[in-house]
Structure 1
Amino acid sequence: MSEPLLSVKNMKKTFQANGGMFSKKKFVHAVNDVSFDIYPGETFSLVGESGCGKSTTGKLIDHLITPDSGEIWFEGKEISRLSEKEMRPLRSDIQMVFQDPYGSLNPRMKVQDLIGEPLLIHTNMSAGERLKKVHELLGTVGLSPSHGERYPHEFSGGQRQRIGIARALTVQPKLIIADEPVSALDVSIQAQVLNLLQQLQKDFNLTYLFISHDLSVVEMISDRIGVMYLGTIVETAPKKELYANPRHPYTRALLSAVPIPDPEVKKERITLKGDLPSPSNPPSGCLFHTRCPHCTEKCKTQVPTPVEIAPGHIVKCHYPKLTE
């Protein structure tokens, strides 16, 4: 196997929570000892409930925020502690596509100027060359050159997401971090955007970090999947292996909730007991033990170490065989 394009090692990030004047300071453990690799040309997905740390992980990799500890390696270079000036040359290699395309597009700028802006910063192209490139990219994402004369508010949600994707492609990135890129779209439009992302991956040799809470969407686009719970990755596996043989109790509960389109197929729904613990006061031992049906005394006191139970299938659980 080739060397990873991106390697995240033991990354942690906490945020100070707002409290009252006389209350004790609280810290939210947004990302808690996360490690994974992404290989060139693949789609690695992070999936989990809202608030589990998926989006924070993406922002840490893109250097929008800085980790408290741990390492982020990109093409063999440690980038987590780079200054903004040192990071600037890498901005063209790592691009983000956001959940809300309208929020990431300046409403006062024409679409052709929005898409061409990265070219202005990262290249020496003339105005004419930039406009030609913008028109090519609009065609690549299924829009016409005439759309470049319009403003973001004149487009539908799906079209705006295509504009966001075109903007990310302008500087020929190696890694695209797609943070919930289809969650705000209708189901039919979701499929169109996912098909577009897959086609662009082939055409431009792209690598994706795909962040989503929707396991149906993740199944369509992923090569490998990491399941996050309360800021940590509890299971990582190739897509087919994860869906056929989930080992962590949390993964099994998530997959049991995915609807099946065939009404004849009966599926047992696994309902987790208890509420999601607060990330400002995470449980001791295994973070999942307060909701796990297989919890033992060991789970309450000892943090489980990741175990590789099959090639590429890693589970952070004391008793992964209990779920067989």
Structure 2
Amino acid sequence: MRETLVELKNVRKQFLASKKFMEEKKYVKAINGVSFEIYKGETLAIVGESGCGKSTTGRAINKLIDIDEGEVWFDHENITNYSSHMMKPVRSKMQMVFQDPYGSLNPRMKIRDIVSEPLLVHTNLSKKERYQKAKELLEIVGLNEGHLRRYAHEFSGGQRQRIGIARALTVNPKLIIADEPVSALDVSIQAQVINLFKELQREFHLTYLFISHDLSVVEHISDRIGVMYLGHLVEITAKEQLYKNPLHPYTQALLSAIPIADPAKKKKRIILKGDIPNPIDLPVGCPFNTRCMHVQDKCYKIVPQLQEAASGHKVACHLI
């Protein structure tokens, strides 16, 4: 039986959308009752359209934001109500790789200071030891000691992302939350960074939460995939099962949009009709009922719960 590293239990988070005087407060419902586990040593990918809540879910795990309801468990600890002081030793076990490889690096700091900064916060290493650690990590991600004396603007996008990955590895984390880490890179560079992630996972026994909107990218790195729509987790299963037998209509539409390299092959494209609901005013019942091609009467009344349709394959749909 696989050991659980992260577990979310019915997590909800909303953000205040309107602050106008004498006006009723309105909230954006970013996460709506999301529950899932991440097992040690695996890569769980979370996919979905922009605004579906996948990045907010990642930030809820490492408590960059506080949730409104539910529980977040990490390494058998309930960290839901941990203060900033209590989170300090936990943060060394979970690190982030951000989407923008330039915006996530301080332009005023040299690379040696950027990479070694987590060591300054979480360890008692000397300046010389921190420098040596930074040098070793840069070499692991494909850079060299000479790069330590440069600034972030002197690197390409792919090199900056390698620096961000090196910084995440400094404190030997158990979990890395990668939030769209290759979406800002060229396709050829994407492949290099994905391969680097896989090599580092084998070498350091890492666990990944890989957040992306690109199903063709997560196919190469994930073990399991969760699909989110308007703050709801609508389907989660092993990668092979999801691509072979998607059950939720939204997942089927996403997979049909993946381009095929062979122009001679024909692929049936599922075109979703209808409008995406306003996250401030979600529809009653299933959140996908405004765009679903198989909608039924109960879809307008009852929110479908995530249930096991097959071994290890969970889906939230009244059709299943």
TM-score by length of 2: 0.99
Does residue 239 of structure 1 match 2:239? yes
Equivalences, count: 320
Q: Distance in 2 between matches of 1:275 and 1:24?
A: 25
**1:58 aligned partner:** 58
Partner AA of 1:247 in structure 2:
L
**2:300 aligned partner:** 300
Quote the offset at 1:308 in angstroms. 1.1
**Cα deviations by residue, 1:41-83 (Å, 9 ceiling, x for unpaired):** 0000000000000000011111110000000111111011100
Partner AA of 2:76 in structure 1:
G
Matches within 5 A, 1:281-296: 281-296=281-296
Q: Distance in 2 between matches of 1:144 and 1:18?
A: 49
Q: Distance in 2 between matches of 1:177 and 1:306?
A: 23
SS of the aligned residue for 2:4 comes to coil
**1:198 aligned partner:** 198
Structure 2: stretches of 5+ with no match in the other structure: none
Matches within 5 A, 1:62-81: 62-81=62-81
Partner AA of 1:100 in structure 2:
D
**1:43 aligned partner:** 43
SS of the aligned residue for 2:219 comes to helix
**2:142 aligned partner:** 142
Does residue 163 of structure 1 match 2:190? no
Q: Distance in 1 between matches of 2:22 and 2:77?
A: 44
**Cα deviations by residue, 1:262-312 (Å, 9 ceiling, x for unpaired):** 112111100111111011001111111111111111010011122211111
Q: Distance in 2 between matches of 1:61 and 1:164?
A: 19
Q: Distance in 2 between matches of 1:136 and 1:19?
A: 49
SS of the aligned residue for 1:31 comes to strand
Quote the offset at 1:254 in angstroms. 0.3
**2:94 aligned partner:** 94
Q: Distance in 1 between matches of 2:122 and 2:23?
A: 47
**2:126 aligned partner:** 126
Partner AA of 2:292 in structure 1:
C
Quote the offset at 1:24 in angstroms. 2.0
Does residue 312 of structure 1 match 2:309? no
Q: Distance in 2 between matches of 1:232 and 1:305?
A: 10
Does residue 277 of structure 1 match 2:292? no
**Identity level (%):** 63
SS of the aligned residue for 1:258 comes to coil
SS of the aligned residue for 1:5 comes to strand
Please tell me whether the aligned partners of residues 233 and 306 of structure 2 are also in contact (alpha carbons under 8 angstroms).
no
SS of the aligned residue for 1:15 comes to strand
Q: Distance in 2 between matches of 1:306 and 1:134?
A: 44
**Cα deviations by residue, 1:128-163 (Å, 9 ceiling, x for unpaired):** 111111110000000011000000010011100000
Q: Distance in 1 between matches of 2:127 and 2:113?
A: 10
Please tell me whether the aligned partners of residues 44 and 224 of structure 2 are also in contact (alpha carbons under 8 angstroms).
yes
SS of the aligned residue for 1:295 comes to coil
Q: Distance in 2 between matches of 1:157 and 1:70?
A: 37
Q: Distance in 1 between matches of 2:236 and 2:45?
A: 10
Structure 1: stretches of 5+ with no match in the other structure: none
Please tell me whether the aligned partners of residues 7 and 72 of structure 2 are also in contact (alpha carbons under 8 angstroms).
yes
SS of the aligned residue for 1:222 comes to coil
Quote the offset at 1:19 in angstroms. 5.0
Partner AA of 1:114 in structure 2:
I
**2:106 aligned partner:** 106
SS of the aligned residue for 1:234 comes to strand
**1:25 aligned partner:** 25
Partner AA of 1:18 in structure 2:
S
**1:10 aligned partner:** 10
Q: Distance in 2 between matches of 1:26 and 1:306?
A: 27
Q: Distance in 1 between matches of 2:276 and 2:43?
A: 28
Q: Distance in 2 between matches of 1:305 and 1:290?
A: 18
Instruction: Provide the alpha-carbon RMSD of the alignment.
Output: 0.8
Partner AA of 1:230 in structure 2:
L
SS of the aligned residue for 1:56 comes to helix
